[in-house]
Amino acid sequence: MDTLNVDSIPDMGLQLEGLFRQGTSWGFMLVKAVLIFLIGKLLINLVNKILRRILSKRDIDPSIKSFTASAANVVLVVLLIISVIGALGVETTSFAALLASAGVAIGMALSGNLSNFAGGLIILLFKPFRVHDYIQAQGTEGTVKEIQIFHTILTTPDNKHIYIPNGSLSSGLVTNYNVKLRRLEWIFCVDYGTDYAKVKTLTESILVADSRILSHPAPFIALHALADSSVNLLVRVWVKSSDYWDVYFDINRNVYETYQAEGINFPFPQLTVHNGIGWEETRRPNF
């Protein structure tokens, strides 16, 4: 039968004491890391609010404001992560060396985000659009809500938020509708035989009656085309961008009501079908 070695009892006590101390130390580091994370999150939220408040009071381009706030938030989060890792006992110098050694792999993994970051800088530098501009890009359109560090947020007319990478916006086709003046164009169709001079005079009176339509450049009216079933009238006017859609819809309604009141008809497509039975009978061979 094995006998208990009394000499080993003190060693076991020391080992247990060492494990207890190590566990206590790890527990303390874990609690410290959690506290640093929670306090850091509160501080980041506080700093973001203060930064946005300061930027909102400054006379700065809204695009720069949103980009700066987004970049500051990313930097603060990175610093918080490094602080939490340091609190867990990992030396930040070793961590930095590890990141440096893995720089190639990280660069390849983040190549898309880096191009988006560079795209954001290009947008801020050359200003193809700004916050509150209405643009069309990447198959969608909407009002620019924010230009963040990696993405630009568009708000569509039906209140959807679309996130478009800055890299695509800086290198792709962008149509900016935020200009002072825009040209409106209509094509009104009337029946053949309608007095063109009368139609033109009525249309001119409708345009003159609308004070939102600019006189310089002057409205343009011309006979656009002699189509299959209609005579097409081309109308072009210039308006302020803010009046674009209101003028468009109002002129549509006024033209329809005025033409109807004056007996000017709007044509509709007509198809004449000829019965070919007689022709087929004449072509039938005799047996």
pLDDT of residue 280: 47
Q: Nearest 10 degrees: CA dihedral of 51, 52, 53, 57?
A: 100
pLDDT of residue 285: 47
Angle at 15 between CA 9 and CA 18, to 5 degrees: 145
**Cβ contact 70:52 at 8 Å:** no
Reply yes or no on whether the pLDDT at 281 is more than 80.
no
For the ranges 33-47, 80-94, 101-115, the lowest mean pLDDT is seen at: 101-115
**Cβ contact 167:110 at 8 Å:** no
pLDDT of residue 260: 93
Rounded to an integer, what distance in angstroms lies between the CA atom of residue 84 and that of residue 211?
A: 65
Q: Work out the average pLDDT over 168-184.
A: 92
pLDDT above 70 covers a percentage of the chain that reads 76
Rounded to an integer, what distance in angstroms lies between the CA atom of residue 93 and that of residue 99?
A: 10
Q: Work out the average pLDDT over 183-191.
A: 96
SS3 113: helix
Give the DSSP letter of residue 242.
G
pLDDT of residue 287: 45
pLDDT of residue 75: 82
Distance from chain centroid for Cα 162: 5
Nearest to 234 by CA among 207, 262, 263: 207
Class of domain 112-176: mainly beta
State which amino acid sits at residue 282: T
Bridge partners of residue 164, in order along the sequence = 152
Rounded to an integer, what distance in angstroms lies between the CA atom of residue 149 and that of residue 137?
A: 18
Rounded to an integer, what distance in angstroms lies between the CA atom of residue 149 and that of residue 166?
A: 8
pLDDT of residue 284: 47
Tokens coding 193: 């035989």
User: Could you check whether the bond before residue 217 is cis, i.e. omega within 30 degrees of 0?
Assistant: yes
Which is higher by pLDDT, 266 or 100? 266
Sign of the four-CA dihedral 217, 218, 219, 220: negative
Angle at 242 between CA 238 and CA 246, to 5 degrees: 80
Pick from 112-121, 165-174, 231-240 the range whose average pLDDT is largest.
Answer: 231-240
Pick from 41-50, 77-86, 96-105, 149-158 the range whose average pLDDT is largest.
Answer: 149-158
Q: Report the 10 Å Cβ neighbour count for 143.
A: 16
What residue ranges do the domains of the chain occupy? 22-97, 112-176, 181-261
Q: Tell me: the pLDDT tens digits for 15-31?
A: 666 666 776 777 777 88
Rounded to an integer, what distance in angstroms lies between the CA atom of residue 17 and that of residue 22?
A: 9
Cα distances from 137 to residues 112, 128, 151, 176, 214, in angstroms, run 19, 12, 13, 9, 29
pLDDT of residue 197: 94
In CATH, the number for domain 181-261 is 3.30.70.100
pLDDT of residue 62: 74
Rounded to an integer, what distance in angstroms lies between the CA atom of residue 157 and that of residue 151?
A: 19
Convert 274-287 to b/e letters by CB count within 10 Å (16 or more is b).
eeeeeeeeeeeeee
Length of the chain: 287
- What is the average pLDDT value for the chain, to the nearest integer? 82
User: Binning pLDDT at 50, 70 and 90, where does residue 103 land?
Assistant: low
Reply yes or no on whether the pLDDT at 166 is more than 50.
yes
Q: Tell me: the pLDDT tens digits for 104-162?
A: 555 555 566 788 888 888 898 888 999 999 999 999 999 999 988 889 999 999 999 99
Reply yes or no on whether the pLDDT at 34 is more than 70.
yes
Going by their DSSP bridges, the two strands 220-226 and 151-155 should be labelled as: unpaired
Nearest to 219 by CA among 194, 247, 245: 247
Tokens coding 195: 């007095």
Sign of the four-CA dihedral 107, 109, 112, 116: negative
pLDDT of residue 7: 52
Which is higher by pLDDT, 89 or 226? 226
Which pTM value belongs to this model?
0.58
User: Binning pLDDT at 50, 70 and 90, where does residue 267 land?
Assistant: confident
For the ranges 55-59, 178-182, 242-246, the lowest mean pLDDT is seen at: 55-59
